[in-house]
Structure 1
Amino acid sequence: MTDRIPLRRALISVSDKAGLVDFARALAGRGVDLLSTGGTAQAVRGAGLAVRDVADLTGFPEMMDGRVKTLHPRVHGGLLALRDNAEHAAAMEAHGIEAIDLLVVNLYPFEATVAKGADYATCVENIDIGGPAMIRAAAKNHAFVATVVDVEDYAAVLAELDVQGGATTLAFRQRLAQAAYARTAAYDAAVSSWMADAIGQAAPRRRAFAGTLAQTLRYGENPHQAAAFYADGSGRPGVATARQWQGKELSYNNINDTDAAFELVAEFDPLAPAVAIIKHANPCGVALGETFEAAYRRAYDCDRTSAFGGIVALNGTLDEATARAITEIFTEVVIAPDATDAARAVFAAKKNLRLLTTGGLPDPHAGGLTFRQVAGGFLVQGRDNGHVAREGLRAVTRRQPTEAELDDLMFAWTVAKHVKSNAIVYARDRATVGIGAGQMSRVDSTRIGRRKSEDMAEALGLSAPLTEGAAVASDAFFPFADGIEALAAAGARAVIQPGGSMRDDEVIAAADRLGLAMVFTGQRHFRH
């Protein structure tokens, strides 16, 4: 296999014209013969550069609205021919096929077209055919051909040519080929996923996922695990789209926890300041407030111990007063749609604190898929975008919840959706006051939430824990009455839960006996 291949001829056909003219000029300046198609040729020619149309090479004009222009033996033969194979060389000579040493293609903007909400026919027209075919051909023949699919690689190609005296090395072409195949795989994954949705196939026979490297990570959950962060291109506001203003590089665990925090606060109306503090992907405090500072301090007072070294998320613009409150303890990451200059100035003094702004909130009602790897495969499901309206609740006890209790029940239910199962959330005045998460027994979660509230009452100098008079949410039904009895022992006054247990009657009877109001949602929120 030949190592160094002189670059004499390049075929360029791109949808994204960014950097095109400068790159083409740099190639021409190195004596490279330029071939091109349609709008790309016009742009290059318009810059005063010599370029041959592919139609002149093939002897066929572009036809069928551009659907057929590069699907021709003189194009694919120039990409696929093995230069050290005598039969291939003879075929090239016999049919007038010119060797192509560099292919530069970026594909029709299918993903962007789908993201804009285009209709079915428009999406179909933005499925590229000739581009992927050329990319795959050139990448297969990387022994002789360099393949560029990303604008970001233009500079690398020019640097390679400078170092190698106008040639490319095999190692360089191999790296480009890998990127090329990853791009066509991602493109096909986007098309197949879109089509599955468009025709209503919830579980297609084959499912593909793809992403673009956003960041290499020092390690994964633990130092012995390699890791990287990929963006899926959906544009959903969050860590993948955020701007990092300061602080050291995000870790694997930082990204996971920050995502959990931001998805939680996005559940609340942006007109109502909401703050969530997350530790190990579980909320240790969530609150609404008249201001973000007030919401932060109320969230912090749920579990001050766990909040240390946590992640803070806001559902609106971070202001100076809230920034100062946050910096009173060590915090790993703060994420918000935006931050004022004054808030950023406060954080500037904390060099290890990472500040991320996203420009928006993820839509908690949006669809989409989540997936998780298991041995030999992976599980795919729709995003948990389930919501229960206040009027959809069903009161099942003799005592009906008060309006204030309903407010807290709805708040606690929203938070419980983001707590690892088994989840129990105590809330008062739209702030969490005790959270029990991730236990094998729902009663244990109930007791843990109570114990945390008792610890905080002692730390705050309160005469009684804030679970006294609280509303409580359970992410799934109570299988036995002992869970309700544990809540009553903690001082809870109202409960929201899905219902659906074989022993619902016993659970309701226990709530009536203990004077609790209870409502059923008919929907659960397991989070494993």
Structure 2
Amino acid sequence: MTAPIAQALLSVSDKGGLIDFARGLAALGVKLLSTGGTAKALADSGLSVTEVGDYTGFPEMLDGRVKTLHPKVHGGILARRDSLEHAAALSKHGIPTIDLVVVNLYPFRETVAKPGCTLEDAIENIDIGGPALVRAAAKNNANVGVVVDPADYAAILTELRSNGLRLSDSTRFRLAQKAFSHTAAYDGAISNYLCSRDAAGAPQIFPDRFTWQGEKIQDLRYGENPHQHAAFYRDEIAAPGTIANYRQLQGKELSYNNIADSDAAWECVTTLAEPACVIVKHANPCGAAIAATPLAAYEMALATDPTSAFGGIIAFNCEVDAVTVEAVSAQFLEVLIAPGYSQGALEAVARKANVRVLALPRAAAAGHAWDMKRVGGGMLLQTADSQSIGTELTVVTRRAPTARELDDLMFAWRIAKFVKSNAIVYAAGGRTLGIGAGQMSRVDSTRIAAVKAANAGISLAGSVVASDAFFPFRDGLDVVADNGAVAVIQPGGSVRDQEVIAAADERSIAMVFTGMRHFRHDRGYECRRCAAIAATYPHPPPLSHDRERGDSCGFADPSARGEIRAASPIDRIEGIIVTEMVANHFGKTR
């Protein structure tokens, strides 16, 4: 058993809760040892405190750069209480033990986050003595308690009062874990900052070493699939408007997939200025719309693909009222996200107790500064796809888009950015009409998007189309023209651009190039049934959702039953899948 705590060293930058904690220690008879501003704060509050300079007989020096770096301080922390040799050394040099170290570090991250922070400002906020104290106490956690988080003050006082001025082994070990994580995050922030610029202060995009630190928010029931374990971590400094800082107002605990899909929905909807609704399923938008009211936006977004919206994530970029919640609650959904909710909306959604309701501040929304992707043995790091285009587009066809078409093109382009590649979005009137996602060939995505629209009873006549990357051949352009589209927005850049432009001119389609591509290659959901059918039929039949089996789609038109043309490339590559899916849906065997 460790000896009771007799002396504590307190040296903190964050003085929140400090005085009450120190009073609690003093009331238990613990001697207080402190430095600089912390000692002054304690003394000004009427507490008896010994300054480190008086304790060591060596004053603070070099503008406070050297305060606690002294054998009388570190010897008292690091000495093993079960070692006769250590005890003899302490006695010989007149060094009392220090049993509790309470330290938090200079605010380096907060300093460098300020506009106008100079390299000199950053350097002066690199703590030296603080991390040394924390690491010494954490290393000797068998004998010493270390506290780096003011949130732990109350629990520590409670344990000391109930346990004879002792902290349990498990408490000291937990505090040591937290302490080493604290110093690791601190050093990581310093390394990232210094390595992201040269000696003159000029920025370097990618440092030679990159450190990421996260704080666990919660353990999750399982991962993407039930056999996988998972937890949710937040960036050390996460913008308030990001999904990691969600505020859950009601509903079941969020799952791994809920969080991933909610992030996709929130990122997409917050790029739209007007009142908007985005519905996401398997990380892909399956419907999006802008309108004068959230209700109108929701109704139009839902109409795009009501089948896929079943069990989806619904996100708004504006406050939601009761009438909107009543409409949303009529369908099965996993998560509802908005910047705010009226009192009536909260009362209405409370009747659906299992629906997870999240609030996130729109004004503070910020995308990820970096995109990170794990690969075998390493990680890919890139700047976030946060650039946007204005109306400075290049018209490459004889006909330029009308003002209405241009508005719809810009809307479709914003949505296509969040659809897994290859991505095609049909849109008109501020709403999506059909979305094709995640296919290996772009022409299949154009067909699937048309299939989705047909299945929802939506005409594509007069629509516009956004493509996240260039059309490699004219076949995709011909498909959108056959379906009634009148304008296209795409990056351009194909060696066959002129062929595609000529096809657009033949069909009187207005086409603009953005010069910016929006590939999105995270592993997304892909409906192989849709892919097979789209490649097989020039005019694919409508598809329907088999909710009982949880499938995303299937043949809805009886005329689709029967043989599939063996000449299709996908028949040859995926013939087994196509055959099995036909048999499963219609009870046929082949």
Alignment TM class, shorter chain as reference: over 0.9
> CA offset at residue 61 of structure 1?
2.5
Indicate the residue corresponding to 1:373 in structure 2.
Answer: 374
2:259 maps to which of 255, 264, 270: 255
SS at match of 2:456: helix
Trace 1:163-178 onto structure 2 (pairs within 5 A).
163-178=162-177
CA contact (8 A) 1:196 1:202 kept: no
1:518 maps to which of 511, 514, 517: 511
Deviations 1:477-503 (A, max 9, x none): 111111111211222111111111111
SS at match of 2:193: helix
Which stretch of the first structure deviates more once superposed, 338-347 or 448-457?
Answer: 338-347
Indicate the residue corresponding to 1:315 in structure 2.
Answer: 317
CA contact (8 A) 1:263 1:362 kept: no
> CA offset at residue 383 of structure 1?
0.9
Indicate the residue corresponding to 1:180 in structure 2.
Answer: 179
Indicate the residue corresponding to 2:545 in structure 1.
Answer: none
Deviations 1:178-220 (A, max 9, x none): 1111111111222222334454122211100011222222222
Indicate the residue corresponding to 1:479 in structure 2.
Answer: 472
> CA offset at residue 452 of structure 1?
0.6
Deviations 1:443-465 (A, max 9, x none): 111111111100111xxxxxxx3
**Cα distance in 2 between the residues matched to 1:362 and 1:228:** 25
**Cα distance in 1 between the residues matched to 2:31 and 2:239:** 38
> CA offset at residue 363 of structure 1?
5.1
The one-letter code of the counterpart of 1:400 is A
Indicate the residue corresponding to 1:215 in structure 2.
Answer: 218
**Cα distance in 2 between the residues matched to 1:43 and 1:347:** 49
> CA offset at residue 367 of structure 1?
7.0
1:228 aligns to 2:231 (yes or no):
yes
Indicate the residue corresponding to 2:135 in structure 1.
Answer: 136
SS at match of 2:460: coil
Indicate the residue corresponding to 1:444 in structure 2.
Answer: 444
CA contact (8 A) 1:427 1:434 kept: yes
Indicate the residue corresponding to 2:35 in structure 1.
Answer: 37
Deviations 1:254-281 (A, max 9, x none): 1111111111111122xx1111111111
CA contact (8 A) 1:479 1:503 kept: yes
> CA offset at residue 100 of structure 1?
1.3
> CA offset at residue 224 of structure 1?
2.5
Deviations 1:352-409 (A, max 9, x none): 1122222234556x67212121221111111111211111x11111221111111111
SS at match of 2:10: strand
Higher relative contact order (CA 8 A, sep 6+): 1
Q: Percent identity?
A: 57
Indicate the residue corresponding to 1:305 in structure 2.
Answer: 307
**Cα distance in 1 between the residues matched to 2:37 and 2:116:** 22
**Cα distance in 2 between the residues matched to 1:169 and 1:177:** 12
CA contact (8 A) 1:428 1:466 kept: no
**Cα distance in 2 between the residues matched to 1:125 and 1:68:** 13
SS at match of 1:313: strand
Gaps of 5+ in 2: 522-590
Deviations 1:18-55 (A, max 9, x none): 22122222222222222111222223233332221112
Indicate the residue corresponding to 1:462 in structure 2.
Answer: none
- Would the alpha carbon gap of residues 66 and 339 (structure 1) be closer, same or farther in structure 2, given more than 3 Å must change? farther
Indicate the residue corresponding to 1:242 in structure 2.
Answer: 246
Trace 1:40-439 onto structure 2 (pairs within 5 A).
40-120=38-118, 121-198=120-197, 199-232=202-235, 233-269=237-273, 272-361=274-363, 368-391=369-392, 393-439=393-439
**Cα distance in 2 between the residues matched to 1:504 and 1:445:** 19
> CA offset at residue 435 of structure 1?
0.5
**Cα distance in 2 between the residues matched to 1:242 and 1:443:** 38
SS at match of 1:6: coil
- Would the alpha carbon gap of residues 325 and 469 (structure 1) be closer, same or farther in structure 2, given more than 3 Å must change? same
Deviations 1:409-431 (A, max 9, x none): 11111111111111111110111
**Cα distance in 2 between the residues matched to 1:425 and 1:362:** 28
- Would the alpha carbon gap of residues 514 and 362 (structure 1) be closer, same or farther in structure 2, given more than 3 Å must change? farther
SS at match of 1:91: helix
CA contact (8 A) 1:278 1:307 kept: yes
The one-letter code of the counterpart of 2:136 is A
CA contact (8 A) 1:238 1:361 kept: no
Deviations 1:305-339 (A, max 9, x none): 11122111111222222222211212221222222
* Aligned Cα root-mean-square deviation (Å): 1.8
Structure number with greater Rg is 2
2:489 maps to which of 473, 480, 496: 496
**Cα distance in 2 between the residues matched to 1:376 and 1:486:** 42
**Cα distance in 2 between the residues matched to 1:118 and 1:22:** 35
Query: TM-score, normalization: structure 2?
Result: 0.84
- Would the alpha carbon gap of residues 423 and 343 (structure 1) be closer, same or farther in structure 2, given more than 3 Å must change? same
SS at match of 1:398: coil
- Would the alpha carbon gap of residues 219 and 406 (structure 1) be closer, same or farther in structure 2, given more than 3 Å must change? same
**Cα distance in 2 between the residues matched to 1:230 and 1:284:** 27
CA contact (8 A) 1:371 1:381 kept: yes
**Cα distance in 2 between the residues matched to 1:205 and 1:171:** 38
**Cα distance in 2 between the residues matched to 1:64 and 1:250:** 51
CA contact (8 A) 2:192 2:209 kept: no
**Cα distance in 2 between the residues matched to 1:43 and 1:257:** 47
Q: Count residues in correspondence.
A: 515
SS at match of 1:168: coil
- Would the alpha carbon gap of residues 65 and 234 (structure 1) be closer, same or farther in structure 2, given more than 3 Å must change? farther
Runs of 4+ in 1 over 6 A off after TM superposition: none
Gaps of 5+ in 1: 458-464
